[in-house]
Structure 1
Amino acid sequence: MGTPWRDIPKRYGPWHPYHDRLARWERNGTWLRLFQSLQALANQAGKINWDGAVLGSSHIRAHSGAAGAKTCAAMNDARPKVKSE
């Protein structure tokens, strides 16, 4: 999804710093915390209808590891965990 990093407009400079920063934010949980904060604000404002928030298996694509492909355990273990309520 999205666009290749090398397609960032030249006026923004090299693409490496952007990729590194976004990857670091993924590893340290910044994106997860941001999502959880925005979700909590939307929930408090009554803008989330949890009754309609259902995903069926026909809407979810299986990860390649689900079909027996080799996975990178170190990468999977480094990802932040979602807090359960």
Structure 2
Amino acid sequence: MILVQIVFASLVIGPIVWGIVNWFKYKGLTAPEVAIHYPTMINSAVFFALAFNIIFFLQEVFLVLGKKALGLQSFLYHNNHT
């Protein structure tokens, strides 16, 4: 049980410590000023939406397959929340 608590504490405290160390390490640096490149921004947004939808679809498919493997009745994208 102690090992689990240590792992979870490191997952919570680790990023905080890392952020503080990097804040002191790069305190005086600033990002360079550049013009906004809109095609890159649009491509990034489209790829993010595509990746999100693919992951969501795969999640739904494997949830349905898991229910079918257990012998339950399952529907892909059901809408019976009445």
TM over 0.5: no
Q: Point out the structure with the larger helix share.
A: 2
- Greater relative CO, 1 or 2 (CA 8 Å, sep 6+): 1
Name which one, 1 or 2, has greater alpha-carbon Rg.
2
TM-score in terms of structure 1 length: 0.30
TM-score in terms of structure 2 length: 0.31
